[in-house]
A and B are shown apart, each in its own frame.
Chain A
Amino acid sequence: MIQLVAASLLDLLGYQFFQYALIGGTIATLACAWIGLFLVLRKEAMIVDGVAHTAFGGIAIGLFLGVAPLIPALAVSVLAVLAITYMRRKGLAQSDSAIAVMLALGFSTGLIVISLAGGFNVELFSYLFGSILTISQADLILITGLSIFIIAFMTVFYKELLAITFDEGSSRLTGIPVEALALAFNLMVAVTIVVTIKIIGIILVVALVVIPALSALQFRLSFRKTMLASIIIGVVSMISGLFLSAIYNVATSGVIVFVALGFFLALAAYNRLR
């Protein structure tokens, strides 16, 4: 039985669609983990869910116009982040309310555009719920390029982002461009969302960004080690979720998130009991 499973897992690796899924999934997870820990510590995790739902409007527009949906999704996500930042700074709305407004605007736009285009179809569902096993070569190139861009940004400004996440006031005093960096970080969040939509789907993007970070925090380590743990948990969830879903023939994005949730529950329980 075990030999049979091992053999079929090896078989899977021979398929191009599975290779694309493994590579794309792993790279996107790296970006998610980098972004996720900062987001959780900034207490802004829900911006991911809000902007992902806003991106739905972009996906719908793309499908309607017949262009690659991730391109308008990226534009809409970036606009959503800029609008949320603007509303906060001008005192028009608190952070969570500003996110709610953009979520409503994006999602309702999406619904209207879809009805104009003749209703829901399979492709739209693949963006809502993810379809990692149908990643094309073009998707893979886009995911890899954008992820490298995100990881490079986060690596270069690691210490400044940590400083403003920990204490914005005293960072401002030392001349760190707090507003500019916070905006740039939120734009990276928008890019991360677009990278991840194809893999895990609009509805579960927030899980892939937040849960590895939350799980890693249970170890109570230094910031560096927590980041490393978050990346490892994310990648392990992604890879094992992919294989498990293939073996049991169930929804891949669901299994990936379930494995990540398993990590979180186990670590939280361990943390309580020790």
Chain B
Amino acid sequence: MSDGAPVLEVENLNVSRSGDLVIEGANFRIDRKDYVGVVGPNGGGKTTLLLAILGMLPKQSGTIRLFGEPTESFTGWEKVAYVSQNAINFDPSFPLTVKELVGLGRVNRRNLGRRLGREDWDEVEKAMQLMGMTDISERRVGELSGGQKQRAFVAKALVRNPEMIFLDEPVAGVDASTQEKFYQKMSDLNSKKGITILIVSHDLAAVFCRMSKVICVNREVNVSEITPGEDPNKILRKAYGEHFHFVYHDHKCEGEF
């Protein structure tokens, strides 16, 4: 649960891609320790919103502040980690072991031109342990299953000890039981380590069962607190349209996960 300190503030944000307005007038804030689901139809602008926040796509107008600083002058990027939707679609013949991949997460502008030290490799061990990858640390990433690859990339993101992590559809194409384990792990990171987490997901049940806030994106951006017992359809129809109906049993959350 959040502790009220804003880590992400978005004001009047407009973002265009190839001339079309994809995000229009977004206004919202995310507080520290929030666990946020980003939902909405395909092509609605979820990934665009994330990329704009991370400064990887230019915004048309508006303000984005991370940890109180406008992103243009933000210098604390090591506090922020991001796992892209396409992370696992790399060339499978790329010669890289899990350990080497996670090690890359320790590379940043402050250790430019220096070798990773013992402290770095200790963090690599910890991150691999956290994501249950220790046994396969010497395996090549290209040879892993989809779920294992995802966990390896999350370990790479976590190895920097970020305060905030953005995950773009981290469990797409992974079987249901692996997805459940993944969301469980993320819940633990959020509650035990206090990491603010934003996950783009199509798994609405996981979002409403586990997370504290939901961002609905379909050109417009609406942010709602998730209150147990409340009908999620009220929130979801803002993004998916009036005829959308999500069958959801609140009481099932505990049992399902």
Contact = CB atoms under 8 A, between A and B. Distances in A.
Interface of A: 41, 156-157, 159-160, 162-163, 166-167, 169-177, 217, 220-226
A226 B51 CA distance: 34
A163 B107 contact: yes
Given A167-B87, A167-B104, A174-B77, 5 more contacts: A174-B78, A174-B160, A220-B95, A222-B95, A222-B100
Given A220-B140, A223-B95, A176 B104 contact: no
A166 B90 contact: yes
A215 B94 CA distance: 13
Nearest to B104: A163
Contacts, number: 76
Contact of A222 (B82, B104, B112, B138): B138
Task: Report which residue of B90, B109, B116, B160 has the largest number of chain A beta carbons within 10 angstroms of its beta carbon.
Answer: B109
A159 B115 contact: yes
A217 B95 contact: yes
Given A160-B112, A169-B56, A222-B100, A174 B107 contact: yes
Contacts of A221: 95
B93 A166 contact: no
Q: Which of B78, B101, B107, B108 has the most CB of A within 10 A?
A: B107
B204 interface: no
B113 interface: yes
Contacts of B77: 173-175
A94 B75 CA distance: 32
Nearest to A162: B104
B96 A223 contact: yes
Interface of B: 54-56, 77-78, 80, 82, 84, 87, 90-91, 93-97, 100-101, 103-104, 107-110, 112-113, 115-116, 138, 140, 143, 160
A250 B80 CA distance: 59
B54 A166 contact: no
A224 B95 CA distance: 9
A160 B108 CA distance: 8
A261 to B, nearest CB: 20
Contacts of A163: 104, 107
A223 B116 CA distance: 15
Contacts of A166: 90, 94, 96, 101, 104
B94 to A, nearest CB: 6
Nearest to B96: A223
Contacts of A172: 56
B114 to A, nearest CB: 8
A157 B113 contact: yes
